[in-house]
């Protein structure tokens, strides 16, 4: 078993470098893989994340927190360990953390996907001895269609709704998924309105050079003016709220890997579900793991026991670790501050 | 198959009934009758016998995908729907097939029953390679005999009625009973040409609504006929053209399972249809439903079973007399003719006339309602005297007024994932009550919580699992729920020696600690006090 990192009650900890990776309780020094709320939590003294991801991480952990950016691929030495960050292909700025100590290399993936996504740098396989992988969609029923196909289906759905005079409302997690959806929307179809929780993150994407079509923050005025024509991109927490009233008759959909399963869509009484994920599917996980050439795999959040069993049967050493990471969330409430953190930690 | 799969998708992707009806209507319009016949057959809930076991299907998927069987099982646990799981596991084949539904059934479904296992596997694998993911899902549901989609029968009937240009009530009648999924019989349903099975056709059962407001608000009591609410199997007894048929409400032909009831039919005059309830019955009183359960599902009945679990027919209503449909007559008129008919049948036959409960005023009715349990009935039925026998379940004509349910506080001890809409959430719960310092399982319950509560309980289960046995999680005994149920009986078939009827979750008792849950002895006493 690797000695570079260990699992503690605050998160994954590197003793030799004295820092945590994505800790779920406040610590002195935290390396953050990406800006999702289960990985980037407020309260720590000092954060290090990819330069491209730093603005989003600041949104999460508080604008007055100390967040240092490290360019992808650039090594940093602290104590006896060498650290570098490598793109994970998950969301803008998401990075795997490579830690080298005494000739041994460990990579912590954070969340990742292999499929192309115009809103972030593509996943880069990093050879290592120990690989810490997520397993959100670690079952062979999860096999994504190409993102381009799904995005085309979203545009077709939007058009079909216009034909029957309904405003399209698509729920997507505010950081990463919503931008991936927006990037794929065809603005020639109609106006693109966004919920405030999504709007808050869009400038960071545009500043990072991601090409997005023109969007407007949804207001009573533009909602009334574009009823039956617009598509509205909103976080899942907006579902079944009075906020939706201003759009008139609506059709609802969700963009999430969970939409692969009919039950997940029908339970939410959605009209459509698009299996668009920012996580790797089953084959993606296997390919990514194989590409690291690692012999020891730590499996965390998701179908961890399933993936670990499969890997063991294929000759790898595995360990299932229990973390506070949650994978792809459906019922997410956008975190607003410490109270949310407390609630999350309380749950874990 | 493409059209039918599209219809399946349309049914699956909207909750708006008008859209469902419109999609059904256009499906029937566009499809050749030999396909539409099968579609209707499945949509209204008819099933063909399972052609291959689900165990074999799992094994063949495992072989076809090179995934170990355990991984197929894990996938099934996450999806909760086997047809869907297997469809998702197989490699993509976006093209799909153009084979029409009728031909698919004739060539890829019906033959499965008559060929040996290797030939079955070859046919299944061949079909998998031709179908796309959604078509596979639909096909799996057909061959496993589990075709159920989220569309109510009434909507299917409405869609078909719209297409045929008749009322929904008329169509509801036409699709009752036996008809074959052939182009000929389908066309017969549309045009009301008599087909081979028409003589045995039952009427749609008229159903009651649960009483929602105080009974006194029903107004003038003389307008209402009160009867006991019997707890058995709702059935129609048909005597036509010298034949006797007994249909259950689930439209199963159960004549052979209840020879005592068929005997009654043979002494009825020709051209008669009775609506009533099959009850386990001895010495002028009903036996617990558990006794009747011994008869359900038995295709053949031996002499011992006839003695151990005797049944009777409790007649409620007369729907046909002298070969004429008299459902349009008012209840009062039908009742007179029913009484006359019943009195003409000799006492030795096990025909009973559901007595009209004398009701001098609403307070008296309330009093009778309170006594229902001690009379071994479920409550009262209140029927408008001046109404015809309707179709479906309209409000205000027939009310069912059930006795207050029994209540017990029990602790959540095991959980399993749900199915269908609730697949992948833990929604199937087992509850326990205290017995000798341990929690003994007394009931499984699936319904009664709000979606929010279901999610909270799901979260709790995931975070508080003590052990797992296959799909079942053993949960830390912390959450207390109030369960309601309709009956409780001594039972040797259950480990704890008790069986509860219709258990469901009434509410989540956040205010109670597990230690405050009920004890098994309390339930035993309850069962003993109500033993017939």
* pLDDT score of B359: 83
**CB-based contact A261 B78, cutoff 8 Å:** yes
The secondary structure of chain B in percent helix, strand, coil, rounded to multiples of 5, reads: 40, 25, 35
From the candidates B20, B141, B229, B383, give the one annotated as an active-site residue.
Answer: B229
* pLDDT score of B94: 87
Kindly identify which residue of chain A lies nearest to residue B12, measuring between CA atoms. Answer: A266
* pLDDT score of B425: 83
* pLDDT score of B471: 79
The neighbour count for residue A236, using CB atoms within 10 Å, is: 20
The neighbour count for residue A108, using CB atoms within 10 Å, is: 26
Indicate the residue of B70, B89, B420 with minimum beta-carbon distance to A263.
B420
Question: Looking at the predicted structure, is the pLDDT value of residue A343 above 80?
Answer: no
- For residue B483, the SS3 value is strand
Confidence band, pLDDT 50/70/90 cuts, at residue B420 = low
Q: CA-to-CA distance for B401 and B216, rounded, in angstroms?
A: 12
* Binding-face residues of A in 270-299 toward B, CB within 8 A: 271-272
More confidently predicted of B473 and A286: A286
* pLDDT score of B298: 79
Q: Report strand pairing: A296-302 vs B311-321.
A: unpaired
Q: What is the CA radius of gyration of chain B?
A: 25
**CB-based contact A267 B85, cutoff 8 Å:** no
Q: CA-to-CA distance for A16 and A78, rounded, in angstroms?
A: 9
* Helical residues (DSSP H) of chain A, grouped into ranges: 54-61, 147-163, 177-184, 196-199, 202-207, 220-225, 262-267, 282-292, 304-313, 338-347
Q: What percent of chain B has pLDDT over 70?
A: 97
Which residues on B lie below 8 Å from A263 (Cβ)?
Answer: 79-81, 420-424
Q: CA-to-CA distance for A152 and B60, rounded, in angstroms?
A: 34
Comparing C-alpha atoms, which of A85, A105, A84, A100 is closest to residue A294?
A105
- In this complex, is the C-beta atom of A167 within 8 Å of any C-beta atom belonging to chain B? no
pLDDT in tens, B445-460: 887 888 888 888 988 8
* Binding-face residues of A in 14-73 toward B, CB within 8 A: none
**CB-based contact B424 A140, cutoff 8 Å:** no
Q: CA-to-CA distance for B228 and B231, rounded, in angstroms?
A: 9
Q: Tell me the sheet residues that pair with A272.
A: A253
The CA-based angle B378-B482-A240, given to 5 degrees, is 100
Question: Looking at the predicted structure, is the pLDDT value of residue A208 above 70?
Answer: yes
Comparing C-alpha atoms, which of B323, B472, B352, B489 is closest to residue B412?
B472
**CB-based contact B89 A141, cutoff 8 Å:** yes
Q: CA-to-CA distance for B101 and B293, rounded, in angstroms?
A: 37
Q: Are A29 and A79 spatial neighbours (Cβ–Cβ below 8 Å)?
A: no
* pLDDT score of B243: 92
The contacts of residue A169 (CB under 8 Å, 6+ apart) are A231, A232, A234, A238, A244, A247, A250, A251, A252, A253
* pLDDT score of A138: 96
Whether B229 is catalytic: yes
Kindly identify which residue of chain A lies nearest to residue B11, measuring between CA atoms. Answer: A271
Q: CA-to-CA distance for B28 and B5, rounded, in angstroms?
A: 13
The neighbour count for residue B39, using CB atoms within 10 Å, is: 23
DSSP string, B234-251: EEEEEEETTEEEEEETT-
* Binding-face residues of B in 245-284 toward A, CB within 8 A: none
* pLDDT score of A339: 29
- In this complex, is the C-beta atom of B13 within 8 Å of any C-beta atom belonging to chain A? yes
Average pLDDT over residues B130-152: 89
Q: Tell me the sheet residues that pair with A12.
A: A7, A21
The CA-based angle A153-A284-B462, given to 5 degrees, is 90
Q: CA-to-CA distance for B315 and B313, rounded, in angstroms?
A: 6
- In this complex, is the C-beta atom of A313 within 8 Å of any C-beta atom belonging to chain B? yes
**CB-based contact B420 A303, cutoff 8 Å:** no
Structure tokens at B105: 């059934």
Comparing C-alpha atoms, which of A100, A236, A251, A98 is closest to residue A175?
A236
Helices (H) and strands (E) in chain A, counts: 10, 19
Question: Looking at the predicted structure, is the pLDDT value of residue A251 above 70?
Answer: yes
Indicate the residue of A140, A260, A266 with minimum beta-carbon distance to B67.
A140
Kindly identify which residue of chain A lies nearest to residue B93, measuring between CA atoms. Answer: A145
The angle, 0 to 180 degrees and rounded to 10, between the axes of the packed helices B17-30 and B153-164 is 50
* pLDDT score of B147: 80
Average pLDDT over residues B331-343: 96
Confidence band, pLDDT 50/70/90 cuts, at residue A345 = very low
Chains A & B: contacts with CB separation below 8 Å: 61
Q: Are B52 and B144 spatial neighbours (Cβ–Cβ below 8 Å)?
A: yes
- In this complex, is the C-beta atom of A267 within 8 Å of any C-beta atom belonging to chain B? yes
Which residues on A lie below 8 Å from B70 (Cβ)?
Answer: 309
Question: Looking at the predicted structure, is the pLDDT value of residue B393 above 60?
Answer: yes
Q: B79: distance to nearest CA of chain A, Å?
A: 7
Indicate the residue of B13, B71, B150 with minimum beta-carbon distance to A271.
B13
**CB-based contact B421 A139, cutoff 8 Å:** no
Q: How far is CA B405 from CA B370, B499, B500, in A?
A: 12, 15, 11
Q: A253: distance to nearest CA of chain B, Å?
A: 10
DSSP string, B260-278: HHHHHHHHSPSSEEEEEEE
**CB-based contact A266 B12, cutoff 8 Å:** yes
* pLDDT score of B78: 84
Q: Are B29 and B123 spatial neighbours (Cβ–Cβ below 8 Å)?
A: no
- In this complex, is the C-beta atom of B62 within 8 Å of any C-beta atom belonging to chain A? no
Structure tokens at B22: 């419109």
| Residue B383: φ, ψ to 5° | -125, 135
Question: Looking at the predicted structure, is the pLDDT value of residue A279 above 80?
Answer: yes
Interface probe, candidates B65, B71, B470, chain A, greatest A C-beta count within 10 A: B71
Q: A141: distance to nearest CA of chain B, Å?
A: 5
- In this complex, is the C-beta atom of A139 within 8 Å of any C-beta atom belonging to chain B? yes
Which residues on B lie below 8 Å from A310 (Cβ)?
Answer: 71
The interface predicted TM-score of the complex, written ipTM, equals: 0.90
Indicate the residue of B70, B81, B455 with minimum beta-carbon distance to A263.
B81
The neighbour count for residue B327, using CB atoms within 10 Å, is: 21
Average pLDDT over residues B114-127: 96
Question: Looking at the predicted structure, is the pLDDT value of residue A348 above 60?
Answer: no
Q: What percent of chain B has pLDDT over 90?
A: 62
- In this complex, is the C-beta atom of A141 within 8 Å of any C-beta atom belonging to chain B? yes
Indicate the residue of B78, B423, B455 with minimum beta-carbon distance to A331.
B455
Question: Looking at the predicted structure, is the pLDDT value of residue B197 above 50?
Answer: yes
- In this complex, is the C-beta atom of B65 within 8 Å of any C-beta atom belonging to chain A? yes
Q: CA-to-CA distance for B150 and A71, rounded, in angstroms?
A: 52
- For residue B113, the SS3 value is helix
More confidently predicted of B281 and A63: B281
Question: Looking at the predicted structure, is the pLDDT value of residue A266 above 70?
Answer: yes
Q: Tell me the sheet residues that pair with B508.
A: B481
* pLDDT score of A30: 97
Average pLDDT over residues B97-113: 95
The CA-based angle B194-B195-B199, given to 5 degrees, is 75
Which residues on B lie below 8 Å from A139 (Cβ)?
Answer: 71, 74-75, 78
Q: CA-to-CA distance for A254 and A270, rounded, in angstroms?
A: 7
Residues found in chain B: 532
* pLDDT score of B232: 92
Question: Looking at the predicted structure, is the pLDDT value of residue A336 above 60?
Answer: no
**CB-based contact B74 A331, cutoff 8 Å:** no
Q: A145: distance to nearest CA of chain B, Å?
A: 9
Average pLDDT over residues B371-387: 91
- In this complex, is the C-beta atom of A306 within 8 Å of any C-beta atom belonging to chain B? yes
Kindly identify which residue of chain B lies nearest to residue A265, measuring between CA atoms. Answer: B421
- For residue B282, the SS3 value is strand
Indicate the residue of B65, B80, B92 with minimum beta-carbon distance to A263.
B80
Which residues on A lie below 8 Å from B13 (Cβ)?
Answer: 271-272
Q: CA-to-CA distance for B259 and A135, rounded, in angstroms?
A: 59
Question: Looking at the predicted structure, is the pLDDT value of residue A14 above 90?
Answer: yes
Q: B298: distance to nearest CA of chain A, Å?
A: 34
**CB-based contact A262 B78, cutoff 8 Å:** no
Q: Tell me the sheet residues that pair with B102.
A: none
Kindly identify which residue of chain B lies nearest to residue A139, measuring between CA atoms. Answer: B75
**CB-based contact B422 A331, cutoff 8 Å:** no
Interface probe, candidates B67, B80, B148, B421, chain A, greatest A C-beta count within 10 A: B421
E strand intervals along chain A: 5-8, 11-14, 19-21, 29-31, 46-50, 66-70, 76-78, 81-87, 95-101, 104-108, 130-135, 167-171, 192-194, 216-217, 231-234, 250-255, 272-274, 296-302, 317-320
Indicate the residue of B13, B89, B455 with minimum beta-carbon distance to A272.
B13
Comparing C-alpha atoms, which of B440, B430, B436, B429 is closest to residue B497?
B440
Of A38-52, A262-276, A306-320, B99-113, least confident by mean pLDDT is: A262-276
The contacts of residue A38 (CB under 8 Å, 6+ apart) are A24, A324, A325, A326, A327, A329, A344
More confidently predicted of A181 and B151: A181
Indicate the residue of B14, B75, B459 with minimum beta-carbon distance to A140.
B75
* pLDDT score of A305: 92
Which residues on B lie below 8 Å from A141 (Cβ)?
Answer: 75, 78-79, 85, 88-89
* pLDDT score of B446: 81
Of A102-111, B9-18, B428-437, least confident by mean pLDDT is: B9-18
């Amino acid at each position: 078993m690797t000695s570079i990192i260990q699992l503690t009650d605050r998160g994954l900890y590197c003793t030799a470098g004295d820092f945590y990776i994505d800790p779920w309780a406040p610590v002195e020094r935290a390396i953050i893989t990406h800006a999702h709320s289960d990985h980037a939590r407020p309260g720590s003294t000092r954060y290090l994340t990819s330069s491209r991801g730093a603005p989003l991480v600041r949104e999460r952990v508080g604008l007055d927190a100390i967040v240092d950016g490290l360019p992808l691929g650039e090594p940093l030495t602290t104590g006896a360990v060498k650290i570098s960050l490598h793109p994970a292909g998950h969301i803008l700025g998401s990075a795997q953390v490579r830690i080298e100590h005494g000739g041994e290399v460990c990579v912590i993936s954070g969340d990742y996907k292999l499929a192309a996504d115009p809103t972030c740098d593509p996943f880069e396989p990093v050879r290592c001895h120990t690989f810490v992988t997520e397993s959100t969609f670690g079952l062979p029923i999860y096999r994504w269609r190409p993102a381009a196909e799904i995005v085309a289906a979203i545009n077709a759905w939007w058009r079909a709704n216009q034909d029957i005079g309904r405003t399209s409302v698509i729920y997507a997690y505010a950081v990463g998924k919503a931008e991936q959806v927006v990037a794929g929307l065809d603005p020639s179809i109609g106006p693109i309105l966004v919920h405030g929780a999504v709007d808050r993150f869009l400038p960071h994407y545009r500043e990072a050079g991601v090409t997005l079509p023109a969007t407007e923050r949804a207001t009573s005025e533009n909602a009334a003016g574009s009823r039956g024509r617009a598509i509205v991109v909103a976080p899942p927490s907006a579902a079944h709220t009075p906020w939706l009233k201003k759009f008139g008759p609506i059709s609802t959909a969700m963009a999430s890997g969970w939409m692969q399963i009919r039950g997940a869509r029908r339970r939410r009484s959605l009209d459509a579900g698009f299996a668009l994920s920012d996580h790797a599917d089953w084959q993606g996980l296997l390919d990514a793991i194989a590409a690291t050439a690692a012999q020891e795999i730590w499996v965390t959040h998701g179908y961890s026991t399933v993936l670990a069993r499969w890997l063991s049967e294929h000759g790898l050493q595995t360990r299932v670790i229990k973390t506070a990471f949650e994978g792809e969330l459906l019922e997410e409430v956008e975190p607003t501050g410490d109270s949310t953190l407390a609630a999350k930690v309380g749950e874990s | 198959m493409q059209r039918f799969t599209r219809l399946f998708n349309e049914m699956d992707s909207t909750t708006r009934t008008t859209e469902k009806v419109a999609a059904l209507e256009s499906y029937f319009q566009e499809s050749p009758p030999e396909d539409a016949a099968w579609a209707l057959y499945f949509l209204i809930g008819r099933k063909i016998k399972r052609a291959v076991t689900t165990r074999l299907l799992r094994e063949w998927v495992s072989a076809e995908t090179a995934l170990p069987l355990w991984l197929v099982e894990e996938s099934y646990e996450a999806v909760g729907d086997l047809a869907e799981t297997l469809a998702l596991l197989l490699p993509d084949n976006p093209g799909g097939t153009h084979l029409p539904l009728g031909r698919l059934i004739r060539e890829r479904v019906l033959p499965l029953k008559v060929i040996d296992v290797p030939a079955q596997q070859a046919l299944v694998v061949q079909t998998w390679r031709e179908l796309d993911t959604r078509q596979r899902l639909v096909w799996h549901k057909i061959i496993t005999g589990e075709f159920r989609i989220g569309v109510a029968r009434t909507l299917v009937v409405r869609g078909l009625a719209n297409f045929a240009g008749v009322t929904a009530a008329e169509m509801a009648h036409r699709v009752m009973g036996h008809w074959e999924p052939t182009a000929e019989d389908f066309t017969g349903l549309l045009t009301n040409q008599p087909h081979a099975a028409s003589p045995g056709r039952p009427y749609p059962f008229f159903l009651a609504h649960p009483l929602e407001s105080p009974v006194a608000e029903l107004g003038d009591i003389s307008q209402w006929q009160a009867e006991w609410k019997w707890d058995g199997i709702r059935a129609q007894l048909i005597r036509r053209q010298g034949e006797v048929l007994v249909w259950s409400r689930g439209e199963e032909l159960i004549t052979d399972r209840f020879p005592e009831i068929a005997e009654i039919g043979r002494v009825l005059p020709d051209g008669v249809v009775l609506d009533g309830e099959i009850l386990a019955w001895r010495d002028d009183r009903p036996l617990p439903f558990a006794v009747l359960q011994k008869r359900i599902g038995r295709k053949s009945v031996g002499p011992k079973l006839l003695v151990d679990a005797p049944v009777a027919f409790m007649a409620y209503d007369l729907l046909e007399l002298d070969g004429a449909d008299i459902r349009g007559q008012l209840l009062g008129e039908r009742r007179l003719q029913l009484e006359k008919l019943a009195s003409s049948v000799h006492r030795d036959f096990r025909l009973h006339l559901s007595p009209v409960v004398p009701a001098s005023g609403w307070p008296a009715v309330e009093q009778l309602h309170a006594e229902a349990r001690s009379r071994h009935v479920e409550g009262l039925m209140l029927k408008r005297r001046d109404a015809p026998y309707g179709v479906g379940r309209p409000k205000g004509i027939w009310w069912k007024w059930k006795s207050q349910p029994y209540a017990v506080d029990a602790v959540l001890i095991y959980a399993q994932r749900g199915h269908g809409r609730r697949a992948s959430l833990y929604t199937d719960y087992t509850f326990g009550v205290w017995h000798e310092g341990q929690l003994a399982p007394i009931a499984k319950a699936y319904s009664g919580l709000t979606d929010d509560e279901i999610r909270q309980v799901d979260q709790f289960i995931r975070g508080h699992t003590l052990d797992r046995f296959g799909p079942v999680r053993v949960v830390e005994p912390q959450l207390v729920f109030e369960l309601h149920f309709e009956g409780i009986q001594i039972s040797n078939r259950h480990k704890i020696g008790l069986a509860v009827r219709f258990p469901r979750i009434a509410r989540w008792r956040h205010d109670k600690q597990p230690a405050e849950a009920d004890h098994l002895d309390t339930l035993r006493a309850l069962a003993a006090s109500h033993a017939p």
